[in-house]
Amino acid sequence: MGVVDVPDSRVALSTSSVYPLGVVGAFDLADRLGYDGIEIMVWTDPISQESGALKRLIDHYGLPVVSIHAPTLLLTQRVWGTEPWGKVDNSVKLAQEVGAEVVVVHPPFRWQKEYAAEFVEGIAQREDETGIAIAVENMFPWRARGREMQAYLPHWDPVGESYRNVTLDLSHTATAGSDAVQMVHDLDERLRHIHLADGLGSFKDEHLVPGRGGQPCAEVLELIAAQGFSGDVVVEVGTRKLTDDDRELDLAEALAFARLHLAAPTG
């Protein structure tokens, strides 16, 4: 009989995975399906922005908030104002108030020149001051009509930057055409957080259920398990067009995939 090592990593559910349901719907599904925690995508849903409401949900369901995703997406440009450092600082404060150890941020858009110029140093300073890991997420170039545009500064690929903490998103690696396994090796101890999803390499950010695209999702999970990864694995898949029953089936499948592959043979 083979013996496997299972790391201490929690498998959590992103609230973005239940959209258009809100934060309460995410907690309810995560609890019923057996997830270990929740990642809060700060959104227009008022509960996602308010620590008191989140703490009541944490107490009611017995599920921790493992991470806060700052509202640095195009669709959340007006959540918590338009000043980018304000969004980051509010996200860090929310993480501290609800007991999360990680804040996920996207790199600056190329038109946010002042923010981008001080981004790397500003992230490091805030980590030093607060003890919260601010894990910068890998993104991808924008493509249209056969042309490619650098949409993020200093770059969409965090590997070559000096961030202490990085989030690896496996839908974004599909869109970028990145080698996810090599990124795990290159990032080494800087890999702090995983967004588990899949993709087929379309220019669209697909966020498929893991195992339904072309990304080495199983290999990445087995590799980080062998390395003793202690961060969190967060399921971040798209279910917007699904019925409630189909959404639940997809999120159950994603959790089962994560549990199956987040293990490594002993020795």
Number of domains composing the chain: 1
How high is the pLDDT of residue 78? Answer: 84
Whether pLDDT at 266 is above 80? no
How high is the pLDDT of residue 1? Answer: 46
Once rounded to an integer, what is the mean pLDDT over residues 193-206? 93
How high is the pLDDT of residue 142? Answer: 85
How high is the pLDDT of residue 146? Answer: 66
Minimum mean pLDDT among 60-64, 116-120, 142-146, 170-174: which range? 142-146
How high is the pLDDT of residue 194? Answer: 98
Q: What is the pTM assigned to this prediction? A: 0.95
Find out whether 181 and 220 touch, Cβ atoms under 8 Å: yes
CATH number assigned to the domain comprising residue 107: 3.20.20.150
pLDDT mean across residues, the chain:
95
Whether pLDDT at 70 is above 70? yes
Whether pLDDT at 11 is above 70? yes
How high is the pLDDT of residue 54? Answer: 98
CA distance 265 to 223: 10
Question: Percent of the chain at pLDDT above 70?
Answer: 98
Which secondary-structure segment (H or E) carries 169?
strand 166-169
32-51: pLDDT as tens digits = 999 999 999 999 999 999 99
Find out whether 15 and 49 touch, Cβ atoms under 8 Å: no
Residue range of the domain that includes 56: 4-265
Find out whether 261 and 218 touch, Cβ atoms under 8 Å: yes
Which secondary-structure segment (H or E) carries 104?
strand 102-105
pLDDT-derived band at 5 (thresholds 50, 70, 90) equals: confident
| Exposed / middle / buried, residue 111 (Cβ in 10 Å: 0-12, 13-18, 19+) | exposed
Minimum mean pLDDT among 15-19, 76-80, 221-225: which range? 76-80
How high is the pLDDT of residue 259? Answer: 97
pLDDT-derived band at 66 (thresholds 50, 70, 90) equals: very high
Whether pLDDT at 25 is above 90? yes
Minimum mean pLDDT among 6-10, 11-15, 131-135, 158-162: which range? 6-10
